[in-house]
Amino acid sequence: MVFSSALGELSEATPTQIVQRVRDAGIVGAGGAGFPTYVKLRAQIDTFLINAAECEPMLKVDQQLMPRQAARLIRGTLYGMRATGATQGIIALKEKYQPAIAALTPLLPSAIRLHILPDVYPAGDEVITIWMATGRRVPPAALPTSVGVVVNNVQTVLNIARAVEQQYPVTLRTLTINGAVAHPLTLTVPLGTSLREVLALAGGATVDDPGFINGGPMMGSLLTSLDTPVTKTTGGLLVLPKSHSLIARRMQDDRTVLAIARTVCEHCRLCTDLCPRHLIGHELSPHLLVRAVNYQRIATPQTLFSALTCSECNVCESVACPVGISPMRVNRLLKQQLRASGVHYEGPLHPADTMAKYRFVPIKRLIARLGLRDWYQEAPYQHIDWQPVQVVLPLRQHIGAPAQSCVKPGQYVLRGDCIANLPESALGAPVHASIDGTVTVVTDQAITVVRG
Ligand code: SF4
Ligand code: SF4
């Protein structure tokens, strides 16, 4: 491989060293899932894919980090390729991210290419990104490695580069604050900063009775307390009037969701016709699962088990259903029951729908459908050196076992010190201090550090 000097110096870390440094740095999937990244890097595959679609309409993180840190992103991709033995790297992004394309293109080594995704939702669902960027279809319930691919998002790969080159852990998070706020913006803060402080940095809410979503409008969850800390997987804070349908729908309890599903389904099948997983050939058919709420005894176990393959992309609830049913919430409830029973799904991969690529949702239409036209803002990146007085660092910011505290109240820690860890054999990620300060509280859930 030939590298331009603009790319910067590459570490000579071996694949084993890369995996270890990524593990020690506590890197997890920053796209939301929080899967420990070192586990992905242990796979041997041929394609290392960077998911830079960022298709949640109000989030503006990856598209603004890419032009600012293009060389680091490519170096991180090269480390990922070295660790996994991949012979090609793909950065999958949208044509509208022109500053990113302009910054990345002159730096690309021959083994890495850009792939331009359509501006549709959910182009950033990893299974859909793989299909769009490589033509390969991940079978239902299988991992991307089954088709020779490992996927990571932009912030994860930037963290990989930092861990490999500087052996520096994850202590910061970049996120977007958007919607009904005075100054919508994207910024980087120490992990553990409260979302209340983050909201204040965006000038506060501009509506009298605001509701809050932790993440984007499609996959984000209802935020019940602004004391919630920013974690390794926090993509954004979306502020809307509490009366907005995106807040009101999330406030519906499970009983109400099931009652609506039982009474008003028209069996129109639109939810299935637009379900991205169904479109690429998975068995998942949300209209059958909604029907199963009423007629569970006549639904086959296979039909019920397919709920486990729902990505919770929210297309069926927010875009497809004309009568206000949430097949996604029905699936979520089914998943809880099935997982508690230890059920695993294995199912066929049917041919993809020949009209699939026309059935994804154009982002402009999605914004209108979600009632976000009045709240959509560009949220430009601003460098703010935010120094919180206190951070609360959850011990589980990842999939797997919670990290175990290795500090005590009263102990002084420096930013970057490991404060909670796991045995090497356990799936999970260590947690590091994000500010210099004194540990004041240690619980099973979180560690509090106060500056000074
Ligand atoms: S949330 Fe709905 S549309 Fe999305 S994968 Fe699940 S069933 Fe399909
Ligand atoms: S889109 Fe709504 S009404 Fe139509 S089948 Fe699906 S759940 Fe029923």
**Same domain assignment for residues 279 and 266:** yes
pLDDT of residue 248: 97
**Same domain assignment for residues 21 and 149:** yes
Strands (E), 404-445: 404-405, 412-413, 418-421, 431-432, 437-442
Residue 195: inside a domain? yes
**Element containing residue 201 per DSSP (H, E):** helix 195-201
Identify the CATH number of the domain in which residue 74 sits.
3.40.50.11540
Place of tokens 């991992």: 143
Return the structure tokens found at 68: 């600012």
Q: Global pTM?
A: 0.95
pLDDT of residue 4: 56
Contact (Cβ atoms closer than 8 angstroms) between residue 384 and residue 174 = no
pLDDT of residue 137: 97
Return the structure tokens found at 81: 């390729």
CA of 269 to the centre of ligand 2 (A): 5
Identify the CATH number of the domain in which residue 408 sits.
2.40.50
Place of tokens 């120490």: 190
Q: Cα 28 to chain center, whole Å? A: 10
Return the structure tokens found at 143: 């991992």
pLDDT of residue 252: 96
Residue 366: inside a domain? no
Place of tokens 């680091």: 72
Question: Between 70-84 and 154-166, two packed helices, what is the crossing angle to 10 degrees?
Answer: 80
Q: Which of 55, 138, 325, 328 for mutating ligand 1's site (highest number of atoms within 8 Å of CB)?
A: 328
- Is 213 a pocket residue for ligand 1 (Cβ < 6 Å)? no
> What secondary structure letter does DSSP report for 135?
S
pLDDT of residue 69: 98
Q: How far is CA 16 from CA 21, 40, 48, 84, 147, in A?
A: 9, 13, 17, 10, 23
Determine the Cα–Cα distance for residues 156 and 189; give it in Å rounded to an integer: 16
Structural domain that includes position 142: 5-166
- Is 323 a pocket residue for ligand 2 (Cβ < 6 Å)? yes
**Same domain assignment for residues 135 and 16:** yes
Determine the Cα–Cα distance for residues 101 and 105; give it in Å rounded to an integer: 6
Determine the Cα–Cα distance for residues 349 and 270; give it in Å rounded to an integer: 21
Query: Which ligand 2 atom lies nearest to the CA of residue 327?
Result: 7
- Is 313 a pocket residue for ligand 1 (Cβ < 6 Å)? yes
Place of tokens 């809880």: 336
Output the furthest CA–CA distance in the chain (Å, rounded): 65
Determine the Cα–Cα distance for residues 19 and 428; give it in Å rounded to an integer: 14
Identify the CATH number of the domain in which residue 229 sits.
3.10.20.600
Q: Cα 219 to chain center, whole Å? A: 9
Query: Which ligand 1 atom lies nearest to the CA of residue 274?
Result: 3
Where does a domain end: 166, 187, 215? 166
pLDDT tens, residue order, the chain (452 aa): 445 578 989 999 999 999 999 999 999 999 878 999 999 999 999 999 999 999 999 999 999 999 999 999 999 999 999 999 999 999 999 999 999 999 999 999 999 999 999 999 999 999 999 999 999 999 999 999 999 999 999 999 999 999 999 999 999 999 999 999 999 999 999 999 999 999 999 999 999 999 999 999 999 999 999 999 999 999 899 999 999 999 999 999 999 999 999 889 999 999 999 999 999 999 999 999 999 877 665 567 788 899 999 999 999 999 999 999 999 999 999 999 999 999 889 889 999 999 999 999 999 999 999 999 999 999 999 999 999 999 999 999 988 999 999 999 999 999 999 999 998 889 999 999 999 999 999 999 999 999 98
**Same domain assignment for residues 156 and 188:** no
CA of 120 to the centre of ligand 1 (A): 15
> What secondary structure letter does DSSP report for 402?
P
pLDDT of residue 2: 45
Residue 446: inside a domain? yes
Q: What share of the chain is helix, strand, coil (3-state, %, to 5)?
A: 35, 20, 45
pLDDT of residue 1: 45
Cβ atoms within 10 Å of 394's Cβ, excluding its own: 20
- Is 383 a pocket residue for ligand 2 (Cβ < 6 Å)? no
Return the structure tokens found at 356: 């699939």
Residue 365: inside a domain? no
pLDDT of residue 410: 98
pLDDT of residue 75: 98
Strand partners, 116: 93
Q: Cα 356 to chain center, whole Å? A: 23
Residue 123: inside a domain? yes
Total number of domains in the chain = 4
**Same domain assignment for residues 141 and 214:** no
Q: Which ligand is nearest to the CA of 266?
A: 2
Strands (E), 142-262: 149-153, 172-179, 185-190, 210-214, 221-222, 236-241
pLDDT of residue 37: 98
Where does a domain end: 166, 198, 218? 166
**Same domain assignment for residues 74 and 143:** yes
